[in-house]
Amino acid sequence: MMKRYKLTISYDGTGFAGYQIQPAGRTVQGEIERCLSVMHKGGTVPVSASGRTDAGVHARGQVLHFDSSLAIEPKRWIKALNALLPADIRVLMAEEAESGFHSRFSAEGKEYVYKVNTSLQGDVFQRNYTCHFPYVINADLVQDAIPHFLGTHDFTSFCSARSEVEDKIRTITSLDLDIDGDDWTFTIRGNGFLYNMVRIIIGTLLEVGQGKIAPADIPVLLKAKDRTKTGKTAPAHGLYLNRVFYGQIEDKYS
């Protein structure tokens, strides 16, 4: 009997051409489907994710689903897949899901983390995991700009011009900045994110911190619906898909 399984996975995006299978280059989806195929004696097992991540972007809690007729307990899936997967992808959780569960369409929100290191020389151990930004940034200016992003807005100015999505209205429920010495960590939650949206918001906040954009200009930039007026897209390797939220609103942001 076919059952639907939900997987929560973590990956180091450094060695991948992105999440989604493509003609050339190593992908997370490609590795997962290869391992599932081994477990299914060569059969094809398509996997769906909560969303794609770009080359270099990391995940601490990407969610996938797939269907299988193998009679394997959820916990055994973790062990079996991790034994086959390369070291830069780990399955953290496996659960049996309802047949109507869909990793993408059932998702009600996501949390991303973006890491920045402001030290002069950078940290060799963080070079693939944190955006090195060795410039003077004014934290007060950044904190003043943050509330302007909260709530429901048309984020046309904050998504890639290549985005083909028609509806660019999204809701950001929280955006927090934690500063620990030279390490800045942004945590952003919302009901959905457009292509490059987190990276453009962060890139813009960094320019706010440098004094290039005023905090009070954020509402103006949102209204302009013009990608050319906002900040640079922050590099992929500082970004982490941290969590995907499913289920009731009240649980969602626990």
Q: Please report, as ranges, the residues that interact with its own copies according to CB under 8 A.
A: 10-12, 58, 78, 82, 87-92, 121-125, 127, 129
Nearer to its own copies, 7 or 142 (CB): 7
CA 114: distance to chain centroid?
9
- Residue 16 is given by DSSP the state -
DSSP-based three-state secondary structure for 235: coil
Nearer to its own copies, 91 or 175 (CB): 91
Instruction: Spell out a b/e string for 63-90, using b for 16 or more CB atoms within 10 Å of the CB, else e.
Output: bbbbebebeeeeeebbebbeebbeebbe
Nearest distance from residue 235's CB to its own copies, in Å?
13
- For every residue of 130-161, DSSP letters joined together read SEE--S---HHHHHHHGGGGSEEEE-GGGS-T
Nearer to its own copies, 96 or 123 (CB): 123
Instruction: Judge whether 54 counts as a catalytic residue.
Output: yes
Question: What are phi and psi for residue 56, nearest 5 degrees?
Answer: 90, -20
Nearest distance from residue 77's CB to its own copies, in Å?
12
112 among annotated binding-site residues: yes
Q: Are 70 and 52 contacting, i.e. CB atoms less than 8 angstroms apart?
A: no
Q: Are 44 and 32 contacting, i.e. CB atoms less than 8 angstroms apart?
A: no
Nearest distance from residue 127's CB to its own copies, in Å?
5
Nearer to its own copies, 134 or 147 (CB): 134
Active-site pick, 54, 123, 176, 183: 54
Nearest distance from residue 125's CB to its own copies, in Å?
6
DSSP-based three-state secondary structure for 64: strand
What's the chain's length in residues? 254
Q: Are 221 and 208 contacting, i.e. CB atoms less than 8 angstroms apart?
A: no
| Residue type for position 49 | A
Q: Which residue shows structure tokens 């990276």?
A: 199
DSSP-based three-state secondary structure for 81: helix
Task: Tell me the C-alpha distance between 40 and 170, whole Å.
Answer: 39
Nearest distance from residue 133's CB to its own copies, in Å?
15
Nearer to its own copies, 193 or 240 (CB): 240
Question: Which parts are annotated binding residues for substrate?
Answer: 112
Question: Which parts are annotated binding residues?
Answer: 112
Q: Which residues are catalytic?
A: 54
